[in-house]
Structures are given as structure tokens and as C-alpha cells.
């Protein structure tokens, strides 16, 4: 346990140093995740002219929640893993007595630590621009949000890492993620909250893993009604499924690995 | 028990084949053609603990594929292999703690951060205590003359310093078996010498087993008493460096200082002329003479030409190995 804690600490500290090495890049990545703010403007406008299930203030808060959920759950492991396979750099990771997944998890975790202060600045700007939408969630809500968003990150990471395993065979696994992203974009609640979907589509979406990456944590944060029990069960179920597939593909992939260029 | 033992080790893998041009590209898009490459074929050898062995072969001969099998990065298609008492591709923790692989053309250090950061990760991963870590870094830093370099970003280091830092990172856990793939690649002569000296010191100090590939023959001659030569996936020689010369180049180099200049056509009648250097008075000629005909050829040269001085030596090892690799002659 002591060794695990030490590895976690060293990986986090070193990858944090790596993440803050290029400050401008970090700010640009935060800004690149501001799509929810653009969509917020559109939906607030629409809500003033028609019935869409949420009030303009609820829309504003929802998309702020979606922005934060995105900041917490951004994952890029598939591009990193693919590059390491293609360049043969995975070999160095495989030569060490530590599963490479911990390196990727630590770099994501550290990036989160480096990115969040900038994200909170954007939240401040948001409240300055839309003072009517200002609210302070209760401590209980915040704690639940933190728990669910951590779970959402793990699910999102497992989903993408599972697809990344195909890099052992195709070396262009990121194309799978691009295709997958289409479903993510539509079903996660990033473009529109699930409340505006037709009931049948909403019901279908709630059995997929996607709404639990954005809509579910965002709704918890801003106080929209959610089925917490079902949500956590679906997240747990999908996490178990992706974890199982990832481990199976990992074992198969290692037998297939050729250590290109190394 | 040998530190490294390989028996009938083979690796086959399919590669796609694509014809050039648009038609080839279109065919390749709709239907892939594969060809099986026999990268390593039934290779067997044993290396005892503490040995430093050179692994020679032309590009694509199968050296790196063999190293990858020995380090457990890839699975052999056939054969058995044991390193430090473990089956490499099972990648057991005990095995990974005992080996290391250094690749001259690849780096494990994080490019944008000082090497010390990567070293701290390695220390945590290998479970090296703080005191041992400080001691090991201090010892290796001194051996590698890297004082003051470990706190600079890796990208700011010279190629030689970077390679030394890579070696430090690869050896921080005190491995028993070192696989070194072109560790002096691209380094200038001074840096090559210093890496070579470090490897010799390390081997003597810790008794580590070393399997080394290099295209710089000076690395091999300075460090290895024994060499393995692989050609087109097959082992064609396993023995001493001196034995390699005897087996593949049973020739001697005869250097003659002549008091006058002879045309090269005439000189070539006696033996292969390796080099001719004309001087103000006379010339220096290097002949390569088969060992069997040495006495007879030298006697004839002495009787026919006006010889001022004569020396008979073994041909340089680079020349011998070059010949072996060019001819690919099997034992």
C-alpha cells in the first residue's frame, strides 16, 4: 500500500510538472472545451420563445454544469496510447513492473489539477455575464457531484482506453473514437439536455453510458431531477463491461504487440 | 544456471505488401496481400552471468527482434527462452526488476522535464527507498560524469549527456541483465569512449550480464570477448572475437615499404592490394594474403621487389566482420 501511495504521489507530481510546462497550451485546451457556453446562448434564446422543458436560467446553469463536467471528464488516452504503440515507446512502459494504465491515469489526473483553476476563472466570468443564473449548490450536492464526476471520469476513461486497445491491431484506433464521439456528442447531453429529447429517445439514451458522462453529473450539480440509483447502477454496469473488454483486449494485444521501431 | 538461455528461438510475423502506383494503392485498399517474414530462425545460445557478449548483424538481421523476445516485449513463435530464471514474455515482476533495455534510438526520459523527475518515477515504480535512490544516483552520476545535468530539462542536454542520462534511468534499479541496443548510436568519439568505459566499469563493479548490439566495432572490441553473429535470422557464429577472425578471415595483412614505385597492376599479381600510398621515394603497400599462402607470397615479394620494411598483422576486426556480414557465410 505504501509503495502504491508513493507511486501515485510521484506520478502525480511529475505529470503535474509536465502539464504546467506549457501554460498557454493549457489555457487553450480549457477554452476549447467551452462549446457548452456557445450552445447555452442558443438554447436560452430558444427557451424565451418556446416550451423546451427548462427555463432560460435552468438552461444557463445546465450548460455551466455541462462545461464543468467536460472539464473533469476530458480524456485523450487513445491518442497517447496509439502514438506510443506506433512509435514503440510502449516498450519502455512494458519493461517496468507497473501496468502502463497508471501512467495514463496519473497524467489525466494531473492535467485536471492543472486545468481546473483556469476553468474556475471561466466560471467566474460566466456569473459576471449572467448574474441571474448565479447560485451556490449545497455542500451535499457538491459532494455528490464530486463523487459522480469522478465515477464519470473513470467510465469515460475506461470507454476510451478499451477502444485504444485496438491500436495493437489497427494502429489507427483513434478513428474508432472519432466515430464513437458522434454518439457521445448526441446522447451525452452536451448539445442539448436530455429534457428536450422525445421521451422514447431519452429512455433509450439513459440505458447507454453517454448521458452519465455529462447530463447526469451536470443535472446533479444544478439541481435538475435525476434517478440517482438507476444512474449509478448503469454507470457501474458499463464500467464493469468496459473493464472486462479492456482486460481481454490487453492480454490479446500484448501477444500481438510487435514493439514497432523499438 | 545461465543468465540468458535461448533454444530454437524463432519469430515469424506477417507484413503487408503493396505494389507501387495508384493501381497498387487501390488493390491494397480493397485486398491486403501478406507475406510472412522469418525474422529469427531457430536461434540457440547461452550466456553465463557476468559475461559481456556482442551481438552482431547487419540491419534487419534479427538482432532487435531477438532482444525484444529476450526482454519479453514480444512472444516467440517457437522455441524456449529464459532470462534470469524467468520466461520473459510472462512479464513477472521479479523478471522486470532484474532486466533493463537501453535503445540508442529511443528514449524513456520525459523530454520536457529534468531527468531527475523521470528517475523519481522509476525509483517509486521499482520500490527503491529514498536513501538507496540517493546513493545509486550519486554513484551512477559520478561514473557517468553527469554532475549538475540531472536537473536540466532533457531537451536541453547534448546527445551524449542524454544517452548517459538514459543509461542512468535504465540502471537505477540495479538490473542483473542489461540488453543494450546501439547504446552509442550517433554519439561523437569522446562520448562513445565514455559510455564504453562506463559499461565496462558497471560490468566489473556489479557483475552484470550484458548483451550488446552495436555498429561501432570499437564498442565490441573494447567490451566483448565473445560475439554472436546473426545473419538473415540465423545464428552464424558464436564464439570469441579472435576465433571470428580465424574462421571468417584466415588472412594476414602484409604491409610493405618499397624503395620505388611499382604499378598497381604488377602489385596485384602477388595478392589482393588493400591500399597503396605513394611517397617522394618509394611507396607503402598493404596486401591481404591468405594465411595458407603467406610464406610463399612474402618470399616471392621479397625476391621480386625492393623491400625496405615489412610487417605482417591480423586484419582489422571491422574488416572481418564486414566480410562476414556481406557474405553471410554460415558455419
Chain B contact set for A13 (CB, 8 A): 120
Give the domain B4-246 fold. Rossmann fold (3.40.50)
The number of domains in chain A is 1
Contact yes or no for A78/A159 (Cβ under 8 A): no
Instruction: Find the mean pLDDT for residues B162-184.
Output: 93
Closest CB to A97: pick one of B75, B96, B123: B96
Q: What pLDDT shows up at residue A188? A: 94
Contact B100, B112 (CB under 8 A): no
ipTM: 0.82
Residue with more model confidence, A226 or B105: A226
Assess B103–A contact: CB distance below 8 Å, yes or no. Answer: yes
Collapse the DSSP code of B161 into the 3-class scheme (helix H, G, I; strand E, B; otherwise coil) and give the result: helix
Is B113 close to A10, i.e. CB distance below 8 A?
no
Please state which of the four CATH numbers 3.30.70.920, 3.10.20.90, 3.10.310.10, 2.40.50.140 is assigned to the domain occupying B250-314. 3.30.70.920
Mean pLDDT calculated for residue range B98-109? 90
Q: A88 at the B interface (CB within 8 A)?
A: yes
pTM of the model: 0.84
Residue A251 lies in a domain: yes
> CB of B11 within 8 Å of any CB in chain A?
no
User: Can you tell me the mean pLDDT for B59-75?
Assistant: 92
Query: Would you say residue B330 has pLDDT above 60?
Result: no
Query: For residue A262, which residues of chain B lie inside 8 Å, CB to CB?
Result: 64, 68, 73, 103, 105-106
Least confident of A110-119, B149-158, B209-218, B248-257: B248-257
A248-257, B124-133, B209-218 — which is least confidently predicted?
B209-218
pLDDT at position B126 is: 95
Mean pLDDT value across chain B: 89
For residue A97, list chain B residues with Cβ-Cβ distance below 8 A.
Answer: 93, 96-97, 125-126
Contact A97 B68 (CB under 8 A): no
Domain ranges, ordered by start, for chain B: 4-246, 250-314
Sorted by sequence, the CB contacts under 8 Å of residue A28 that are 6+ apart come out as none
For residue A78, tell me if it sits in a domain. yes
Q: Contact B95/B81 with Cβ under 8 angstroms? A: no
Work out the minimum CA distance from A256 to partner chain B, whole angstroms: 8
A96 to chain B nearest CA, in Å?
6
Phi and psi at residue A11, in whole multiples of 5°? -60, -45
What is the phi/psi pair of residue B16, to 5°?
-80, 145
Residue A261's pLDDT band (boundaries 50, 70, 90)? low
> Could you report the per-residue pLDDT of A68-114, keeping only the tens digit for each?
999 999 999 999 999 999 888 899 999 999 999 999 999 999 999 98
A-B Cβ pairs (cutoff 8 Å, strict): 76
Residue A112 distance to chain B (closest CA, Å): 19
Give the pLDDT of residue B331.
45
Nearest one of B88, B11, B10, B72 to B44, comparing CA atoms: B10
The least confident of A57-66, B67-76, B94-103, B270-279 is B270-279
Instruction: Indicate if the pLDDT at residue A148 is higher than 70.
Output: yes
Burial annotation B236-255 (CB, 10 A radius, 16+ → b, else e): bbbeebeebbebbbebbbbe
Q: Which is more confidently placed, B59 or B72?
A: B72
Cβ of A259 within 8 Å of Cβ of B74? The answer is yes
pLDDT at A262 over 70: no
Look at residue A160 and tell me if it is in a domain: yes
- Please answer whether residues A60 and A159 qualify as being in contact, where contact means their C-beta atoms are separated by less than 8 angstroms: no
Strand-pairing partners, residue B309, are B257
User: Which 3 state secondary structure label does DSSP give B41?
Assistant: strand
Q: Does A124 touch chain B (CB under 8 A)?
A: no
Query: Is the model's pLDDT at A13 over the cut of 50?
Result: yes
Average confidence (pLDDT) over B177-191: 88
B286-297 per-position pLDDT tens digit: 998 888 889 999
In this prediction, what percent of chain B has a pLDDT beyond 90? 53
Stretch A18-38: mean pLDDT, rounded? 79
Q: Is B197 exposed, middle or buried (0-12, 13-18, 19+ CB in 10 A)?
A: middle
Question: Which residues of chain B neighbour A257 with C-beta distances below 8 Å?
Answer: 73-74
A7 contact B CB<8A:
yes
Nearest to A155, CA basis, from A204, A213, A111: A213
Quickly state the pLDDT bin for B329 (edges 50, 70, 90): low
Minimum mean pLDDT range among A9-13, B151-155, B213-217, B230-234: B213-217
Q: Above 70 in pLDDT, residue B137?
A: yes
Instruction: Name which of A18, A96, A97 is nearest B112 (Cβ-Cβ).
Output: A18
Q: In this predicted structure, what is the pLDDT of residue A239?
A: 98
Is the Cβ pair A258, B74 closer than 8 Å? yes
Residue B207 in contact with partner chain A when CB distance is under 8 A: no
Closest CA to B1 of B143, B135, B98: B98
Specify which residues B290 forms β-bridges with.
Answer: B251
Which domain, by its residues, includes A18? 2-256
pLDDT band at A44 (very low <50, low <70, confident <90, very high): confident
CA distance A97 to chain B (A): 5
DSSP state of B49: T
Kind and range of the H or E run holding B68: helix B63-70
Tell me the pLDDT tens digit for each residue of A200-218. 999 999 999 999 999 999 9
B121: which chain A residues are within 8 Å (Cβ-Cβ)?
Answer: 7, 10-11, 14
Q: Is B102 on the interface with A (CB under 8 A)?
A: no
Structure confidence by residue, pLDDT tens digits, B12-36: 988 888 888 888 888 877 888 888 8
Are A18 and B122 in contact (CB < 8 Å)? no
Chain A residue with minimum CA distance to B106: A262
**Residue A261 covered by a domain:** no
Residue of A82, A50, A67 whose CA lies nearest to A167:
A82
Amino acid at each position: 500500500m505504501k509503495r502504491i501511495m508513493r507511486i501515485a504521489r510521484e506520478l502525480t507530481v511529475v505529470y503535474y510538472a509536465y502539464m504546467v510546462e506549457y501554460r498557454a497550451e493549457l489555457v487553450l485546451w480549457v477554452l476549447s472545451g467551452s462549446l457548452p457556453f456557445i450552445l447555452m446562448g442558443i438554447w436560452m434564446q430558444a427557451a424565451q420563445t418556446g416550451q423546451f422543458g427548462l427555463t432560460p436560467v435552468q438552461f444557463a446553469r445546465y450548460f455551466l454544469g455541462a462545461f464543468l463536467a467536460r472539464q473533469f471528464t476530458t480524456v485523450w488516452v487513445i491518442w497517447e496510447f496509439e502514438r506510443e504503440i506506433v512509435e514503440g515507446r510502449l516498450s519502455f512502459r512494458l519493461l517496468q513492473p507497473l501496468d502502463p494504465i497508471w501512467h495514463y491515469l496519473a497524467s489525466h489526473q494531473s492535467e485536471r489539477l492543472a486545468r481546473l483553476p483556469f476553468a474556475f476563472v471561466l466560471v467566474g466570468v460566466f456569473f459576471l455575464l449572467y448574474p441571474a443564473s448565479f447560485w451556490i449548490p449545497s455542500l451535499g450536492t457538491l459532494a455528490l457531484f464530486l463523487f459522480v464526476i469522478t465515477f464519470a471520469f473513470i467510465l469515460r476513461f475506461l470507454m476510451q482506453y478499451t477502444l485504444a486497445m485496438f491500436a495493437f491491431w489497427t494502429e489507427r484506433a483513434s478513428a474508432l473514437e472519432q466515430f464513437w464521439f458522434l454518439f457521445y456528442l448526441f446522447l451525452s447531453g452536451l448539445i442539448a439536455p436530455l429534457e428536450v429529447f422525445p421521451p422514447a429517445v431519452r429512455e433509450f439514451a439513459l440505458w447507454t453510458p453517454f448521458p452519465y458522462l455529462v447530463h447526469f453529473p451536470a443535472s446533479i450539480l444544478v439541481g435538475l431531477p435525476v434517478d440517482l440509483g438507476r444512474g449509478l447502477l448503469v454507470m457501474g454496469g458499463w464500467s464493469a463491461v468496459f473493464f472486462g473488454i479492456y482486460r481481454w483486449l490487453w492480454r490479446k494485444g500484448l501477444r500481438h504487440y510487435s514493439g514497432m521501431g523499438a | 544456471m545461465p543468465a540468458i538461455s535461448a533454444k530454437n528461438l524463432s519469430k515469424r510475423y506477417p507484413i503487408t505488401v503493396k505494389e507501387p502506383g495508384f493501381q497498387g494503392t487501390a488493390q491494397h485498399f480493397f485486398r491486403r496481400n501478406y507475406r510472412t517474414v522469418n525474422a529469427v530462425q531457430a536461434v540457440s545460445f547461452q550466456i553465463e552471468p557476468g559475461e559481456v557478449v556482442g551481438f552482431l548483424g547487419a540491419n534487419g538481421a534479427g538482432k532487435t527482434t531477438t532482444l525484444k523476445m529476450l526482454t519479453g516485449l514480444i512472444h516467440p513463435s517457437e522455441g524456449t527462452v529464459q532470462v534470469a530464471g524467468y520466461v520473459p514474455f510472462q512479464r513477472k515482476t521479479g523478471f522486470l526488476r532484474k532486466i533493463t533495455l537501453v535503445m540508442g534510438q529511443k528514449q524513456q526520459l520525459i523530454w520536457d522535464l529534468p531527468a531527475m523527475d523521470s528517475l523519481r518515477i522509476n525509483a517509486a515504480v521499482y520500490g527503491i527507498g529514498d536513501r538507496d535512490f540517493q546513493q545509486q544516483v550519486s554513484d551512477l552520476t559520478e561514473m557517468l560524469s553527469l554532475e549538475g545535468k540531472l536537473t536540466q530539462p532533457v531537451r536541453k542536454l547534448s546527445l551524449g549527456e542524454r544517452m548517459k542520462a538514459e543509461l542512468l534511468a535504465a540502471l537505477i534499479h540495479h538490473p542483473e541483465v542489461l540488453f543494450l541496443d546501439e547504446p552509442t548510436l550517433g554519439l561523437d568519439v569522446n562520448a562513445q569512449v565514455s559510455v564504453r568505459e562506463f559499461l565496462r566499469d558497471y560490468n566489473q563493479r556489479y557483475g552484470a550480464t550484458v548483451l550488446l548490439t552495436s555498429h561501432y566495432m570499437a564498442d565490441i572490441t573494447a567490451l566483448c570477448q565473445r560475439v554472436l553473429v546473426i545473419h538473415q535470422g540465423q545464428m552464424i557464429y558464436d564464439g570469441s572475437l579472435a576465433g571470428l577472425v580465424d574462421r571468417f578471415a584466415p588472412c594476414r595483412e602484409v604491409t610493405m615499404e618499397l624503395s620505388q614505385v611499382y604499378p598497381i597492376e604488377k602489385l596485384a599479381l602477388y595478392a589482393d592490394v588493400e591500399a597503396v600510398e605513394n611517397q617522394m621515394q618509394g611507396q607503402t603497400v598493404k596486401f591481404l594474403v591468405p594465411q595458407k599462402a603467406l610464406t610463399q607470397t612474402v618470399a616471392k615479394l621479397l625476391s621480386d621487389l625492393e623491400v625496405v620494411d615489412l610487417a605482417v598483422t591480423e586484419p582489422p576486426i571491422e574488416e572481418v566482420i564486414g566480410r562476414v556480414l556481406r557474405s553471410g557465410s554460415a558455419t
